[in-house]
Structure formats: structure tokens, C-alpha cells
């Protein structure tokens, strides 16, 4: 797509060389609400919410091989948004400071895939997830397409209104 194509969406899954190194040491992220207010979310905040584990998760990359199965543990994105977002919303933009990110639709949280609910993960196989391995990492258990939704080092979660 040309850079002038207004339909180009950098947050749609697209071919990508994975970045191996965290963009910073700090694992906290900003939650940006539709009214522009933002709040810093730490791993400690996430640990106060219900804890959910999803087994049989794979990080599938055709270019770099498949790793797993892993059990990821954290808070479901549904529990997270129910707690922190008072207003109704239709999309979330989940992005890392390295520019990699993904869009999540409300329907995906309300009708979760049989593979498991989308998580903001802070543990892997019962151990704290390290910053190197992606803390805080979004895990989309249904995604098997080059790991293009498994966002490491979540830096911002932006709550957005449905686009026309
Ligand atoms: N923030 C961030 N997350 C990312 C990427 C990236 O470059 N930056 N690459 C994605 C891709 S393409 C792959 S294959 C996996 C690699 O995950 P791994 O390092 O756990 O194997 O991370 C995904 N998540
Ligand atoms: Mo990938």
C-alpha cells in the first residue's frame, strides 16, 4: 500500500520482522481514554484484578519458527477494560513504544475464541514474565499468523470510538 492510501492501517496485522529488544526498562503503560485522560498502569495494578491462565499458547512465526506451548497468565482484556474504562467503547489500540501494535474489537472480548480469552500477560509458565520476554505482553490465543498480534512491551492502550 502506498503511504498516501488512507485505508492503510499500521495496526492491522502485517508482515513484520520481530524486534528482539525491549524499547525501555519500564514495564508500565498508559491507558488513554476517549476523553483524552490517561492513567499509568503498572503490573501491580494488573495483579489486583482477577487472574486468568490460558494454556496451549504458541508464538507462531513462519520466518522464525514456532515456540510453545506456553501457559500465559494475567488479566483478561475484558476484565481490564471493565475495571478501568467506564465509557462504552468499540476498539482498543494496543501498541508498544517500538511502534508495533494491534487493534482489538469489543466483540472479540465478548465472544472469546475457543482457544481462550485475550490477555494482558505478566507470567509465563508460572514464572514472572521478564521484560526481555515482553512484560506486559498481549496474548491473543487464537492468533497463529506469524505472531502478528502477540504484542510485547505494551506501552499504550488507547480506547477508540468505532470509525465510520
Ligand atoms: N512490541 C513488539 N511485539 C512484537 C513484535 C515486535 O517487533 N515488537 N514482533 C512480533 C512478531 S512478528 C513475532 S514473531 C513475535 C516474536 O515473539 P518472541 O520474541 O516471543 O519469539 O513477537 C511479536 N510481537
Ligand atoms: Mo513474526
CATH, residue 107: 3.90.420.10
Residue 101 Cα to ligand 1 middle (Å): 10
Residue 28 included in any domain: no
Q: Indicate whether 144 belongs to any domain.
A: yes
Ligand nearest to the CA of 67: 1
Give pLDDT < 70 ranges for the chain: 1-7, 162-164
CA of 60 to the centre of ligand 1 (A): 10
Q: What pLDDT was estimated at residue 25?
A: 97
pLDDT of residue 1: 43
Range of the domain at 89: 39-150
Which phi and psi angles does 46 have, rounded to 5°?
A: -65, -35
Would residue 52 count as lying in a domain? yes
Residue of 138, 127, 149, 1 lying closest to 61 (CA atoms) = 149
Residue in 134, 150, 156, 157 to alter for ligand 1 test, most ligand atoms within 8 A of Cβ: 150
Ligand 1 pocket residues where CB is under 6 Å? 16, 18-19, 59, 61, 64, 67, 96, 98, 100, 146-148, 150-153
Return d(Cα 80, Cα 164) in angstroms, integer.
Answer: 26
Of all protein residues, whose CA lies closest to atom 9 belonging to ligand 1?
18
Would 155 be classed as within a structural domain? no
* 127 domain residue, yes or no: yes
- The answer to whether position 15 is within a domain reads no
d(C-alpha 96, C-alpha 25), whole Å: 13
pLDDT of residue 90: 93
Residue whose CA is at the smallest distance from ligand 1 atom 21: 59
pLDDT for 2? 45
Pairing of strands 137-139, 119-124: antiparallel
pLDDT digits (tens, 9 = 90+) for 9-50: 889 888 888 898 999 999 999 999 988 899 999 999 999 999
Residue 164 lies in a domain: no
Q: What is the largest CA-CA distance in the chain?
A: 45
User: Global pTM?
Assistant: 0.94
The residues with which 67 forms a beta bridge, in sequence order, are 59
Amino acid at each position: 500500500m502506498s503511504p498516501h492510501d488512507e485505508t492503510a492501517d499500521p495496526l492491522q496485522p502485517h508482515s513484520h520482522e520481530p524486534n528482539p529488544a525491549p524499547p525501555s526498562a519500564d514495564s508500565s503503560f498508559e491507558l488513554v481514554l476517549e476523553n483524552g485522560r490517561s492513567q499509568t498502569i503498572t503490573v501491580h495494578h494488573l495483579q489486583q484484578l482477577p487472574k486468568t491462565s490460558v494454556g496451549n499458547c504458541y508464538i507462531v512465526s513462519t520466518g522464525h519458527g514456532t515456540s510453545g506451548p506456553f501457559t500465559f497468565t494475567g488479566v483478561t482484556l475484558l476484565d481490564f477494560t471493565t475495571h478501568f474504562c467506564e465509557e462504552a467503547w468499540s476498539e482498543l489500540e494496543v501498541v508498544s513504544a517500538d511502534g508495533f501494535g494491534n487493534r482489538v474489537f469489543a466483540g472479540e472480548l465478548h465472544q472469546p475464541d475457543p482457544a481462550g480469552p485475550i490477555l494482558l500477560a505478566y507470567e509465563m509458565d508460572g514464572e514472572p514474565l521478564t521484560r526481555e520476554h515482553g512484560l506486559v505482553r498481549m496474548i491473543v490465543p487464537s492468533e497463529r499468523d506469524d505472531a502478528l498480534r502477540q504484542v510485547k512491551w505494551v506501552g499504550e492502550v488507547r480506547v477508540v470510538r468505532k470509525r465510520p
